[in-house]
Structures are given as C-alpha cells and as structure tokens.
Amino acid sequence: MSVREVREMNDQRQVLVRAETRRVTVSGPGGGQETLSYPGVTLTRVCGGLPDGELWLPMGEQPSEADDEALIVALRAAYLWRLGRN
C-alpha cells in the first residue's frame, strides 16, 4: 500500500469518543418498573461516514484501576484501527 492509499484510507476512518449515560428499565419491587442509569464512555468507529462499530465502557462513581486500564486498551485499539494498523 502506498503512502497516499494509507492516507486516503485513514481520512475515511474516524473514532468518536463521547460521555453518555445508558438507561435500563427493569421490573422493580411490587411489579413496578424502575429505571437504572449508568454513566460511561462510548467509542464509535466511523468509516466513510458510516458507523463501523461501537463500544460502551461503564464508568462508576469510584472508577478502579481496572476501569482505567480497560479504557486505555479500548482507546489504543480504536486509534490503531483509525491508522489502519489492525
């Protein structure tokens, strides 16, 4: 692959990072419904303007070292994908 071809491919690939809250509705006590909210980070891979994959990582109130490491690994993989290296 030439440098130009790699550059053109990379121009088509984007990684979007956004903080968002996911909500889940479940059956609560007494048969009612309860909505739970989970903050997190969404990584979206976009190729040629179209979504190509998405990963949501939860972020708790007290993030652990494991949470931080999971985010670092996911960001690294996403940016390598952006560069066409995986």
**Mean pLDDT of all residues in the chain?**
87
- CA 77 centroid distance within chain: 11
Write out pLDDT tens, residues 40-62: 999 999 998 999 999 999 887 78
What integer pLDDT is reported at residue 80 of this predicted model? Answer: 93
Q: What SS3 class is residue 48?
A: coil
Write out pLDDT tens, residues 11-29: 789 999 999 999 999 988 8
pLDDT tier at 10 (50, 70, 90 boundaries)? low
What integer pLDDT is reported at residue 3 of this predicted model? Answer: 56
Q: Name the pTM for this structure.
A: 0.72
